[in-house]
Amino acid sequence: MQYLLYPVALYLILIGIRYLLTFLQLRKVVLQYPKFQAQSAKAVPAELRQLFQTSIAELAVHGFKPCCYVQARSMSKIEPPTGWELLLYHREHKTYAKVGLRLLTEPADLFEIGFYTFFKDQSLLITLNGQAHGVIDQVPRATLQDPYSADLSVQWQMHQEKLSQLAATQAACALAPEVFSRLCNCTSGSIWMLRCNLEGWLKRQRKNLSWADAP
């Protein structure tokens, strides 16, 4: 019977090695404060602009128009040093669509798309898709929802329906792209930073940030 323990022991050793390698990798992680800046399309590599055309066409069906690109430095130095995301704007609903590239991509699921609407009372409506499970803390004064659907129209419909409900007591606010990018810290997986930025923003009571008409 003792020989039956060998496969179990080997399995446990392999598990231990995996955790050890993960630990060693985490020790190398160096965090840094992310930097981000709104950029024109001319600053974006041509191959990325071409790649984003797919999401531009998909969102145009729902009334969104390209606004600007955002260049961001990652929080972790082991990730690519800089990345690009695209902002689109829906004037009627005063809503931004933030488009980023997934780190682990599939041909049919290349982009991460989130809808963001700010209100004049400084609250926020966020509709993600397949990302809410990664939010480990509450975003202050924000309503966060996620349909977990492969259909973008389902995600946008959910955002519109909730926006209509909130509109009964709150007024959506047009926000300039530069201010939006500073608040949301437009990097992939930026909900944690959004929480930090909103907390700081509420404490400053808009001392350093101002509302402005969106494009």
Domain identity same for 119 and 15: no
- What is the reported pLDDT for 189? 42
pLDDT at 63: 96
Instruction: Please check whether residues 103 and 86 belong to one and the same domain.
Output: yes
Answer whether residue 211 is part of any domain: no
Q: What is the pLDDT of residues 114-134, one digit of tens each?
A: 999 999 888 889 999 877 665
Question: 212 in a domain, yes or no?
Answer: no
Q: Do 53 and 157 sit in the same domain of this protein?
A: yes
The region that residue 94 occupies, defined by phi over 0 for left and psi between -120 and 50 for alpha, beta otherwise, is left
Residue 209 lies in a domain: no
Same-domain check for residues 52 and 88: yes
Q: 41 with 141, same domain?
A: yes
Residue 213 lies in a domain: no
Mind listing the pLDDT tens digit for each residue in 84-105? 889 999 999 999 999 988 765 5
- What is the predicted pLDDT for the residue at 213? 40
Q: What pairs with residue 38 in β-bridges?
A: 70
User: Which residue ranges in the chain fall short of pLDDT 50?
Assistant: 186-193, 195-196, 199, 201-215
214 found inside a domain: no
Domain span holding position 23: 1-30
Q: Across the strands, what pairs with 99?
A: 86, 113
Does residue 210 form part of some domain?
no
Token match 């047009």: residue?
174
pLDDT value of residue 35: 61
* Total tally of structural domains belonging to the chain: 2
42 with 68, same domain: the answer is yes
Same domain, 14 and 82: no
**Quick one: pLDDT at residue 214?**
43
Do both 87 and 15 map to the same domain? no
Looking at the fold, whether 17 and 48 belong to one and the same domain comes out as no
Please, how many CA atoms are within 13 Å of residue 46, restricted to the half-sphere of its CB? 0
Instruction: Quote the mean pLDDT of the chain.
Output: 75
pTM for the model stands at 0.69
Are 116 and 176 part of one and the same domain?
yes
Three-point CA angle 142, 145, 150, nearest 5°: 145
In a shared domain, residues 15 and 62: no
Q: Let me know if residue 135 belongs to a domain.
A: yes
